[in-house]
Structure 1
């Protein structure tokens, strides 16, 4: 019996093994030559790319369904249009504040039993930069149904009231405007410029999803148009020359036109990057 016979290998086996080892060594050499030359003191320059994903795609439909009730609560009486004459005198039993389900009495009501009226309180008187009156904001306190017309007082029932109905609230026939559930963003014409006139019933500071009034009417904008809110330029002092330099105010946010009137429009704030307020400028967007 030979103990060395089990270790004998055919010559072809060794040649195949040597070829495989040689191929592996050559591959390692190629990888080393292709790798960054860290051992030679070389430097590798990286060029990262940042992909910006906006909160809302610029051209996707904007869902307004959550804001429909609020949009129904604001309207503008155009300059030159007579103000409503009918007004609430009191609630039942002489109450000054009423709510849904309560009866109210009002003066100068013209209508038929069953007719529905909006109950409004005047908001901001809208004026342009030259002081010219553009219209009057009206804020709806509720909706009432006429039960009995009388002279001088008529009786109505408050059907719904997002706000308390107070004595002195003015009655207006409900308009036939229905807020859209969605709006497709549109490009405003180049050179479109205006300003935020009012944030109805809510002070000067403007934030995301707020409804605002701007001084651009139906002849300048249409529902769906996007406008950027532009910050005012500021002056800074040059530390070397001491002179004053103008610093761009930057883009504060973005809004979308929702409803147009003759000289004004309602808009929804769809983006808010920096604090905004009434009086800020609005312009055509830069990225269209």
Structure 2
């Protein structure tokens, strides 16, 4: 069932009667109910679907609770589909329960802050496994593998895909010190319909469906005529749609890009 958001909007319609002698203005307010329903276009859904199905963000707290591979039945360096793996720290495991296998990638940090201040880690998808024997270690069968799976790889329970396609498009009232902290898949610059990570999440009031503006930072240049230094203003270069929110970071889809988008570009309220 599709969700429909009803917004009660008070529209003031000016019914103006000008009386030339007294210049009287009569204002008559009316109340209208406006139905607004926004469904993300199918093209954009296809672009972000694999990001929804595979975990890409792992918080430091989650890492402490994740299971990890200590060995495999073949005693080989890497395993593939059909291999048995031995996993420790796999709490709440149940027979036939499915897990995602991943390795930790880049750390997401705020710009210009202590390098130890990590917001989250990239979770690089390796494959999936299913529990066969519960114990310490727990035994799992690898059911799929798209990359090499080795000792130390982490496991996270597979979550049900219940991502809704309907969005209530809106913007936050204010946003401070927000930046693009990562471009997924290790690219240096991106454009329209690509994914970014911003350094704001639910703790900062960010919500799914938020529309945000991307801006280039101010630049200091030298006026060659007067030899004075001049600060160029921030420049709007695109827009973002937030589609998945975590505590300290969020995923967003670039819906407009007038110029290449880079890491640490500024994110503002439209």
If the length of structure 1 is used for normalisation, what is the TM-score?
0.67
Task: Give the Å deviation of 1:222.
Answer: 0.7
Query: Where does the alignment leave 5 or more consecutive residues of structure 1 unmatched?
Result: 1-58
Match for residue 83 of structure 1 among 64, 73, 78: 64
* Matched residue, 2:98: 116
Task: Give the Å deviation of 1:255.
Answer: 1.6
In the alignment, the residues of structure 1 paired with residue 73 and residue 129 of structure 2 have an alpha-carbon distance, to the nearest angstrom, of 14
Q: Judging changes above 3 Å, is the alpha-carbon distance between structure 1 residues 125 and 144 closer, same or farther for their aligned structure 2 residues? A: same
Please say if residues 237 and 245 of structure 1, whose CA atoms lie closer than 8 Å, have aligned partners that are also in contact.
Answer: yes
Q: Deviations over 1:157-177 (max 9, x none)?
A: 223344443332111223456
Q: Deviations over 1:11-70 (max 9, x none)?
A: xxxxxxxxxxxxxxxxxxxxxxxxxxxxxxxxxxxxxxxxxxxxxxxx773434312122
Please say if residues 84 and 171 of structure 1, whose CA atoms lie closer than 8 Å, have aligned partners that are also in contact.
Answer: no
Larger Rg: 1
Q: Deviations over 1:240-284 (max 9, x none)?
A: 212122223422322211111112111122222212222111111
In the alignment, the residues of structure 2 paired with residue 172 and residue 262 of structure 1 have an alpha-carbon distance, to the nearest angstrom, of 18
Q: Judging changes above 3 Å, is the alpha-carbon distance between structure 1 residues 196 and 74 closer, same or farther for their aligned structure 2 residues? A: farther
Question: Which one has the bigger helix percentage?
Answer: 1
Please say if residues 68 and 181 of structure 1, whose CA atoms lie closer than 8 Å, have aligned partners that are also in contact.
Answer: no
Q: Judging changes above 3 Å, is the alpha-carbon distance between structure 1 residues 193 and 183 closer, same or farther for their aligned structure 2 residues? A: farther
* Matched residue, 1:269: 254
Task: Give the Å deviation of 1:209.
Answer: 2.6
Task: Give the Å deviation of 1:91.
Answer: 4.4
In the alignment, the residues of structure 2 paired with residue 109 and residue 191 of structure 1 have an alpha-carbon distance, to the nearest angstrom, of 38
* Matched residue, 2:199: 215
Number of equivalent positions: 226
- Whether 1:236 and 2:217 are equivalent positions in the alignment is no
In the alignment, the residues of structure 2 paired with residue 239 and residue 65 of structure 1 have an alpha-carbon distance, to the nearest angstrom, of 48
Match for residue 65 of structure 1 among 45, 49, 55: 45
* Matched residue, 2:180: 196
In the alignment, the residues of structure 2 paired with residue 146 and residue 185 of structure 1 have an alpha-carbon distance, to the nearest angstrom, of 40
Q: Deviations over 1:118-160 (max 9, x none)?
A: 21211222322433332333233222111123433x3212233
Match for residue 239 of structure 2 among 254, 262, 281: 254
In the alignment, the residues of structure 2 paired with residue 220 and residue 214 of structure 1 have an alpha-carbon distance, to the nearest angstrom, of 13
Q: Judging changes above 3 Å, is the alpha-carbon distance between structure 1 residues 98 and 70 closer, same or farther for their aligned structure 2 residues? A: farther
SS in 1 for 2:50: helix
In the alignment, the residues of structure 2 paired with residue 97 and residue 208 of structure 1 have an alpha-carbon distance, to the nearest angstrom, of 37
Query: Where does the alignment leave 5 or more consecutive residues of structure 2 unmatched?
Result: 1-37
Cα-Cα RMSD: 2.7
* Matched residue, 1:185: 169
Task: Give the Å deviation of 1:106.
Answer: 2.6
Q: Deviations over 1:223-252 (max 9, x none)?
A: 111112111222232232121222234223
